[in-house]
A and B are shown apart, each in its own frame.
Chain A
Amino acid sequence: MRIAGTLLVVALLWPWLAWAGLDPDAKGVGENADLWRPDPMHEYWDPGNLHRPETERVKGLFQGEACLECHRVVTPGIVKEWRTSRHALTKEPVLCPACHGEDHQKLSFPGPQTCGNCHPKRLAQMEEEKHYGFPSHALAMERAVDSKHFADKPKAEVAACLQCHSVASKCDSCHTRHRFDAAEARRPEACITCHSGPPHPDDEAFFASAHGQLYRQEGKRWDWSKPLAKGNYPAPTCAYCHMKDGNHQVADKAVWKFGIREINPQSAENLIKRKRWQVTCADCHPPEVGMEFFKKLDAERTQSWRQLYAVERLLKNLRSDGLLSPSAKERPPYPIDWLAKLFPKERIGFYEGQASAFYNVSAIERDYFELWYFFNLGAYKGMAHGAKELSEQFHERMGVQVEAIRNEAERLRGQTGAKKDLKPLWMEGDYTKFNLDYN
């Protein structure tokens, strides 16, 4: 009886409960806006551009207490969260309309600009990050939606991109709603939501380091309400070093640019950034420890790049001998890449743009991509976060992969005449057409 009653209520209220959500004709955003259509979830990832308030269910203007009247029943979780937040506990509570607006038909999802109304310093710091180029939190959204593969790849394969790249368009990536807790964002878990996985195993690196070990053992007892300043924490977490004193400009010490291309650690710009690192490390370590650490990191990077360039040369030689199969002429380019259509060419290495051409390539190119993007970045992340053993593990993997690529290259060279076709990933046809039409 009870179940039937519930079902009846649901059936009757169904149109009322249904989220009006995204306009079915909504266009994408960014450089390739015409070529992809956002999913309903995208209004959460990029609310500034894609959120459409529902206009069907409730009409009228509501002040704070009135919102709570209904929402403590309709959405009790967020009300409970909000009640424990500083927004609720101050003398003059920051009520719902402050961020969402009063008019129920024009409600908004707050973005950084909304939060910046009261936290202008933090917003300014985040905006300032745009001055530093990539990689960047503040530019992450454009970076994702503007890349060719975002518009070209099958929808299902790019569904998860914006989940992390939305760090640019909303603050609750790190300070989850509706508590928006600074202490939460000071803990490494806040960063690890995104900074994990093959191209940036920051979590593995941090937990393998002495800093991370200390955090694991003792973190539960630390007072996370303290600001990220000298003397407040026995060991640093991500935010301590990368967001010193709560600085929301996270790129001001970014020397290595994720390790995907070789950089000059001694360039004028990078020497200045290094000095900033030295100051940060000196919160706990004597200055020469930091210097010694930089030297080791430099040496590790030099060695890795020597190895990577050797493989890059090997692949380029295969390319000039026409041994990559399927070749660029045989496989479809990105549908929207007109240049690649006119001049099909296998892209190898960072400077030819391989980072954005990592799928639908021959097996050996993909092997190189994994060597470079996954194992190399792991080796770098390990070394940069003080996890030497982890770095060595990744170096071992690099060695194995290099060996495998060499063997494969020799095999390809051995096949005179009849080129044995490696299994092509996908070819121009129904599949690519489908992607083009349904993204």
Chain B
Amino acid sequence: MNHAIADHATGSVPTGRARARHRLIPVRLMPANRQRSQAGHYAWWVRALAMFAYGWAFLGWLNDAWLFQFGNPLWLNRYTEPVIILAFGLWRIRAEKNPYTRKRLLILVTNVTVLWWLIPWAWPFIEPHMGYLAGLPAFPSLHTPGTVTFLLVLGGVFLFGRRVICGWNCPCVGIRETVCFAFRHADPVPRSDRAWRLRHIKWIGFALYLGAIWAVTRPANNITTGYLGFFAMIVVLPYFAIMLLSPWIGNRDYCRFLCPYGATFGLLNKVGMFRIDYDAKKCIQCGKCAKVCDMNIPVWQMGLANQGRAGSIPPNAWGVAAASPNVPATAWPSTTCATCCNPACGRTGPIRNVARTGIKLPCAGVSPAISF
């Protein structure tokens, strides 16, 4: 009998040799909370390797933009990051036991590899764009206001919800879910009222980003080019720096607190065709959804509030539900949700991503916190 299943059956935590064997032999369909490939369970050298790979990916960007050494080879240019994401992604997909997370990783890594590496690498082309970018946007200019990719993503988020990018396609999430997974702590996400309120910091970034959108509509001059350079630094430097804090302040630290793009998508989520829905009938009040959310959204509490049900708000409810029990359904989720949903309660989970308008969209049926 397979060792791991035996472990599961007896409920004991494998130690020593058995534990080592778990790392080597993946065990399919092991429940999410029992698998060995959980954050915070890795040996120091695995963490060191992950950190090294992350630093290397960063160095690739740095070389592409600043250092110009070695003639920009694949092992040290802008495509180094997706290559490393692919390498670590294969390992993560193989090691991940939860079918939902596994599926998400598979899609995420495929998207990053194909869209953000293979296509621009094999067929480089300049994207059509609006405005004056003071340079040519080579595909993919995901983060450059006014390019086709940028506008398609905005449109996609409006039509199909935030999953078209966050959690399923974003290279920034990609590297966090694969390379940086190993050096996360088990649950590094700060879950407190204060941490929940801190999500509003991102609106500062959002304001700066509106400024960038204004700047690209003007022909380049000292002010606009200076501003765009400043904006790029404001986005890029904290992004790479804050990653190093992720073991302590959470995997989605940047997405939660700073990401100006995420803030836009959040606003689109409020008016877009999809919303996160909570099926009270299915909820068994275990509260796991809130406990595993990387974005620290009080999922369960908000769900209860929206259903108008008198639920017992647990002591660690981080404020929102208790403070505003009558949050209208359209206001949920908050602008924070990246719809990546860590699996919490199996296939019958009550949290779903559903079409808001009643219009049947092709993906509405499969949508999902989908099929978890």
Contacts and interface: CB of A to CB of B under 8 A. Distances in A.
B64 A264 contact: yes
B219 A139 contact: yes
B221 A266 contact: no
Contacts of B139: 268
Contacts of A287: none
Nearest to A264: B68
Nearest to A143: B221
Contacts of B125: 272
Interface stretch (A127-135, A199-207, A321-329): A127-135
A266 B129 contact: no
Given A130-B132, A131-B129, A264-B64, A269 B138 contact: yes
B236 interface: no
Given A130-B132, A133-B132, A262 B222 contact: no
A267 B132 CA distance: 19
29 contacts: A31-B223, A130-B132, A130-B219, A131-B129, A131-B132, A131-B133, A131-B136, A132-B136, A133-B133, A133-B220, A136-B220, A139-B219, A139-B220, A139-B221, A142-B219, A143-B221, A146-B221, A262-B68, A264-B64, A264-B68, A266-B71, A267-B65, A268-B124, A269-B135, A269-B137, A269-B138, A271-B138, A272-B125, A275-B124
A147 B222 contact: yes
Interface in B126-185: 126, 129, 131-139
Given A31-B223, A142-B219, A266 B77 contact: yes
Contacts of A269: 126, 135-138
Nearest to A273: B136
Contacts of B192: none
B221 A142 contact: yes
B26 interface: no
B138 A134 contact: no
Contacts of B219: 130, 138-139, 142
A138 B132 CA distance: 12
A277 to B, nearest CB: 14
Interface of A: 31, 130-134, 136, 138-139, 142-143, 146-147, 262-264, 266-269, 271-273, 275, 298, 302
B144 to A, nearest CB: 11
Interface string B62-82: 001100100110000110000
Contacts of A302: 68
Given A31-B223, A264-B72, A272 B138 contact: yes
B64 A267 contact: yes
B224 to A, nearest CB: 10
Contacts of A142: 219, 221
B368 interface: no
A267 B133 contact: no
Contacts, number: 69
B120 interface: yes
Given A262-B68, A266-B77, A272-B126, A133 B135 contact: yes
Contact of A132 (B64, B135, B221, B222): B135
B225 interface: yes
Given A264-B64, A264-B68, A268-B120, 13 more contacts: A31-B223, A132-B135, A132-B136, A133-B133, A134-B225, A143-B221, A264-B65, A266-B77, A267-B65, A267-B72, A269-B135, A271-B124, A275-B124
Contacts of A264: 64-65, 68, 72
A275 B125 CA distance: 10
A304 to B, nearest CB: 13
A133 B124 contact: no
B72 A266 contact: yes
Contacts of B221: 31, 139, 142-143, 146
Interface in B92-128: 120, 124-126
A271 B136 CA distance: 11
Interface in B187-202: none
A359 B199 CA distance: 48
A275 B138 CA distance: 13
Contacts of A272: 124-126, 136, 138
Nearest to A302: B68
Interface string B268-284: 00000000000000000
A139 B135 CA distance: 13
A113 to B, nearest CB: 14
A133 B229 CA distance: 13
A142 B125 CA distance: 29
Contact of B134 (A133, A138, A266, A271): A133
A139 B134 CA distance: 11
Contacts of A136: 220
Contacts of A139: 219-221
A267 B221 CA distance: 23
Given A267-B72, A269-B135, A272-B126, A130 B220 contact: yes
Contacts of B126: 269, 272
A35 B131 CA distance: 29
Contacts of B68: 262-264, 302
A220 B131 CA distance: 43
Contacts of B138: 267-269, 271-272
Contacts of A31: 221-223
Contacts of B78: 267-268
Contacts of A267: 64-65, 72, 78, 138
Given A31-B221, A272-B124, A272-B126, A134 B72 contact: no
